Structure 1
Amino acid sequence: MPIKVNMFSSASKVKGQGVGSAYEELIRLLKTHFPKQIDVSINKFTKADISHYHTIDPNFYLSTFSKKRGIKVGYVHFLPETIEGSLNIPQPFRSIFYKYIISFYKRMDHIVVVNPTFIDKLVAYGISRDIITYIPNFVRKNEFYRFTEANRDAVRERLEVNNRFTVLGIGQVQERKGVKDFIKLAENNPDKYFIWAGGFSFGRLTDGYADLKQVVDNPPRNLKFTGIVDRNALVEYYNAADLFLLPSYNELFPMSVLEAFSCGVPVMLRDLELYHSIIKGYYIPTQDYEDMNTQLKLVSEDKERLNKFKQLSDEASEEYSEDHLADIWLDFYSSLTK
């Protein structure tokens, strides 16, 4: 008998966010690799061996009180502190929402985190370490891959990159993502071309919306804001880029970094501590805007250094590939039902 897993998620309703990408990747993985071992249903309030919650919707919270749910698994993509700089929620609603997040996680029988640094933080909120498992995100090589030189040249021409050194950022346009540093880099490096693929997924609720909207509507001549891009079109932007830069102040395990690795693009990041346990050594670390600006100039002028980080991206993509993670997920679900 297959393991019946009911997925609960509304992540796909809001485009341009990593939670939805991670959720969709997992669904595809299970259906592709284990059609006989795992029976996946989506948002069905029917009896299941395992109910896997990807988002914290109130109706999902209420469903956890039913015995039909089987073993309840919570997928932790964020904590209260990681929402700071993303959404502008006034008090007292912010405190109420943060308490609700932790209450939801405490309703779970088991927790999956995408970054091991979250384990201690969840324990500090009163969740037992024994029920927390770390399973990283992943991407598919047949969706995010390196183009041939001819195809890359064609994409660069179509995106009007021309012969300029091109820096790509991907994600929601918000304070937490460090978009203001990305804008400043464009302003101070007029010889390079900058693309930010992403938009205001949460509209005016986005932290820093007013200031950022002004720049998005009137960017520097060498900076393009694409708005929200369908995920199946992102592979072209990765391949058009010479460097992927994510200047975020706070992240978990960003899908965009894995996608860049998978496309063989050198990666530069603000050197957050939470990256150290998962991808340290695979990216160019920077501390602040000045460091980003210095490293950008160095890497754009040193082809050997650029090629070194292309190779490191290739190595990282193998570690976080679909095939590598497939067996981990099967073992995890199997262990719960035993």
Structure 2
Amino acid sequence: MSLVVNMASESDVSVQGHGVHTAYVELATALERRDDVSVVRGRYGERVDCGVYHLHTLGTRVWRKLLDPRAPTVVSAHVVPDSLVGSLRGARWWRPAARLYMRWFYRRADTVLAVSGTVARALESELGVDPDRIEVLYNTIDMAAYRTTTQDRIAARRELGFRDDAFVVLGVGQVQPRKRVDLVDRLAREHPEMTFVWVGGIPFKHLGADYGAMRSLMDDAPDNLVFTDMLPHPEVRRYLQAADVFCLPAEQENHPMCILEAAGVGLPVVARDIPEYDDTFGDDVLRCRDETFGEALVHLREDETAYRTWAERSRRIADRFDSAAAAERLVGIYRELVAARVARSEAGPHRRDGGGRSARRQRRPATLNR
């Protein structure tokens, strides 16, 4: 019998220009390809007749699903308190309140899916989530949709107006201090021989951190740095296909979808050396500090052997984080939750834990095959 899953991300009815929405769409689409799961998307502010709820956002529109005792709830933890600082205005001041809210929300779930080992540790140590309820399930994408041929690349560059000999360095994400777009601006000024493109804007407008400074940075960019503002996802893919290198200097990330997309295209990835990447990308991305990003880009531009080596490393990322494997494991998690609930129901009255949800099974192995 097909298992009905109500999967919801409030980005459906609000801002979509961020990685949480992409992660939600990719996972829902991967599940919809299977014949043993029926996915009901959205239906915000209401309960749904389903076997499992799977939530990707933490807003009030999904409260009725979170609190519905008729079906177990899975929550994907894309955001932890540290994700807010440098993203939204005044986050350092209201972070404690956000922490309390996240603690309440995540602890209500039967299973919390951490998108990286770093997130799993934050869930347990900072937010007090029972480790037996935490699973690490990395973000994934349909890598086949990003495979790029030479002809695809030529067509994309022609469509977007890049010269044949241009060395295009691409970044993707919201324009905010946490992403360190200021460093991209500096790199563009120091390397006029390269073309820099940042695909993204400020979707939350004046709610964004340092909105005025970020707006000025976009308006005063050098000639070899282009900000596209927010784009539909198919257009983002065209920029990836047209680029030579992907660069993400962000100071805090969990498991960014944009790196997965760049890897799917086959681009070498240059990223900041942060601990969040230790258990995800490891040495398959060229990890840098502020002072070494420029050196890394020059190295890739001038050394064809190095370029091919790092492109091959990206293909390893693509092999590791394809959505089909994640969907397979996720269905197993769903079915285990449903089976546990049926067993408890047949056993009669049972103990409830302090969060109001039923105590459940031992924690399973935490990672996809690597």
Could you tell me which runs of 5 or more consecutive residues in structure 1 were left unpaired when the two chains were aligned.
none
CA contact (8 A) 1:244 1:260 kept: yes
Match of 1:41 in 2: 40
Q: Indicate whether 1:3 and 2:18 are aligned.
A: no
Distance 1:98 1:152, change over 3 A: same
- Aligned partner of residue 317 in structure 2, secondary structure: helix
Deviations 1:192-221 (A, max 9, x none): 000000111111111121111112123100
Match of 2:355 in 1: none
- Aligned partner of residue 146 in structure 2, secondary structure: coil
Q: CA deviation at 1:42?
A: 2.4
Match of 1:265 in 2: 267
Deviations 1:30-88 (A, max 9, x none): 11123xx22221234123221111111123235433323x1111110010111110001
CA contact (8 A) 1:15 1:228 kept: no
Equivalence map 1:135-174=2 (5 Å):
135-146=137-148, 148-162=149-163, 163-174=165-176
For 2:174 and 2:105, locate their aligned partners in 1 and report how far apart those are by CA, in whole Å: 25
- Aligned partner of residue 75 in structure 1, secondary structure: strand
Match of 2:257 in 1: 255
Amino acid at match of 1:250: Q
Match of 1:22 in 2: 23
Equivalence map 1:1-338=2 (5 Å):
1-12=1-12, 13-34=14-35, 37-44=36-43, 45-68=47-70, 70-89=71-90, 93-124=94-125, 125-146=127-148, 148-162=149-163, 163-288=165-290, 290-338=291-339
Q: CA deviation at 1:325?
A: 2.2
For 1:133 and 1:165, locate their aligned partners in 2 and report how far apart those are by CA, in whole Å: 40
Amino acid at match of 2:116: N
CA contact (8 A) 2:144 2:264 kept: no
CA contact (8 A) 2:85 2:92 kept: no
CA contact (8 A) 2:263 2:315 kept: yes
Q: Which moved more, 1:88-97 or 1:299-308?
A: 88-97
- Aligned partner of residue 143 in structure 1, secondary structure: helix
For 2:124 and 2:152, locate their aligned partners in 1 and report how far apart those are by CA, in whole Å: 48
CA contact (8 A) 1:141 1:322 kept: yes
Give the TM-score normalised by the residue count of structure 2: 0.86
For 1:258 and 1:73, locate their aligned partners in 2 and report how far apart those are by CA, in whole Å: 23
Q: CA deviation at 1:91?
A: 7.6
CA contact (8 A) 1:88 1:207 kept: yes
Match of 2:356 in 1: none
CA contact (8 A) 1:269 1:283 kept: yes
For 2:212 and 2:259, locate their aligned partners in 1 and report how far apart those are by CA, in whole Å: 27
Give the TM-score normalised by the residue count of structure 1: 0.94
For 1:325 and 1:49, locate their aligned partners in 2 and report how far apart those are by CA, in whole Å: 19
For 2:253 and 2:281, locate their aligned partners in 1 and report how far apart those are by CA, in whole Å: 13
> How many matched pairs?
333
CA contact (8 A) 2:7 2:39 kept: yes
For 1:66 and 1:264, locate their aligned partners in 2 and report how far apart those are by CA, in whole Å: 43
Could you tell me which runs of 5 or more consecutive residues in structure 2 were left unpaired when the two chains were aligned.
340-370
- Aligned partner of residue 14 in structure 1, secondary structure: coil
Determine what percentage of the aligned residue pairs are the same residue. 29
- Aligned partner of residue 172 in structure 1, secondary structure: coil
- Aligned partner of residue 119 in structure 2, secondary structure: helix
Amino acid at match of 1:38: V
For 2:78 and 2:283, locate their aligned partners in 1 and report how far apart those are by CA, in whole Å: 23
Q: Which moved more, 1:9-18 or 1:250-259?
A: 9-18
Q: CA deviation at 1:110?
A: 1.1
Amino acid at match of 1:47: D
Q: Which moved more, 1:214-223 or 1:14-23?
A: 214-223
CA contact (8 A) 2:27 2:323 kept: no
Deviations 1:262-289 (A, max 9, x none): 000110000111101111121111022x
Aligned-residue Cα RMSD (Å) equals: 1.6
CA contact (8 A) 1:168 1:245 kept: yes
Amino acid at match of 1:158: E
